[in-house]
Structure 1
Amino acid sequence: MNLTIHWTFLPHTDADASLAFYRDVLGFEVRKDVGANRMRWITVGPSNQPQTSVVLNPPEAADLTGDERKLHDQLIAKGNYMLVFAADDLDKTYEQIHAAGAEVVQELEDHPYGVRDCAFRDPAGNIVRIQQAD
């Protein structure tokens, strides 16, 4: 069996702010932008990986009740949704994202288990963790 990651979904709470983060800060290309206002799906991904995409998904699409939406927003704010990337030059990547004004969750850190990484929060509150590529 040969499986590849094709799409993954990540909630957004403000389509324009999320688009600006993933396109302008992380440098992803926009592959699709469909819908309007609060019902907008934006597909982005790294230009050198056309087979892998992140779909920024509106929470309204899930038809949540008021209490469910409140819980959903709390889960986002606590960082329960996460993407993990690898970078060839983590220090340079960290500096570029930090300079763009992204909220830092964890500065560059060398962990005792051999991983060097950092973490940011996207405009919705999702965690974007980046580690040094091997």
Structure 2
Amino acid sequence: MTVRRIVANLHAADPRAAQTFYGELLGLDVLMDHGWILTFGAGGTMMPQLGVASEGGQGAPVPVLSIEVDDVDELYRRVKAAGHEIVYDLADEPWGVRRFFVRDPLGNIINILDHAA
């Protein structure tokens, strides 16, 4: 048996409330829309992973999602300009990532990161 995919399901009274954040800001495509559920995605191949944590590192809260991007600084600027709440400010972490936490429109804490080169 091989795990082929892991999908995070976030609760939302109105799934469309997530469209601007995940679709426009993060550039994800709507892959499925049944009204009661929107599934966002992007091309490419990903390795299934599941994080289980007692904290978010450096004493930060545990985020519900971690999203790796290719330019964390650019996305940080766009997130700030859009007025989203920064929960943990942009930082270079000792374990080799540059990251920040943002609260999405549904109230979830999202870890946005880029691995150091």
Q: Name the one with the larger helix percent.
A: 1
Identical amino acids, percent of aligned pairs: 35
2:16 is matched by which residue type in structure 1? D
In structure 2, distance between residues paired with 1:45 and 1:23: 9
Please report how far the alpha carbon of residue 115 of structure 1 lies from its aligned counterpart in structure 2 after TM superposition. Answer: 2.7
1:41 is matched by which residue type in structure 2? I
Which residue, out of 54, 77, 87, partners 1:105? 87
Which consecutive unaligned segments of at least 5 residues does structure 1 have? 53-78
Please report how far the alpha carbon of residue 100 of structure 1 lies from its aligned counterpart in structure 2 after TM superposition. Answer: 2.2
In structure 1, distance between residues paired with 2:34 and 2:41: 15
Q: Over residues 22-49 of structure 1, what are the superposed CA-to-partner deviations in whole Å (9 max), with x where a residue is unaligned? A: 11211110111113xxxx1111112x23
Q: Name the one with the larger strand percent.
A: 1
CA-atom RMSD, angstroms? 2.5
For normalisation by structure 2, the TM-score amounts to 0.71
User: Which structure has the larger Rg over C-alpha atoms?
Assistant: 1
Which residue, out of 118, 122, 125, partners 2:100? 118
Please report how far the alpha carbon of residue 104 of structure 1 lies from its aligned counterpart in structure 2 after TM superposition. Answer: 1.2
In structure 2, distance between residues paired with 1:81 and 1:130: 10
Give the number of aligned pairs: 103
In structure 1, distance between residues paired with 2:32 and 2:64: 21
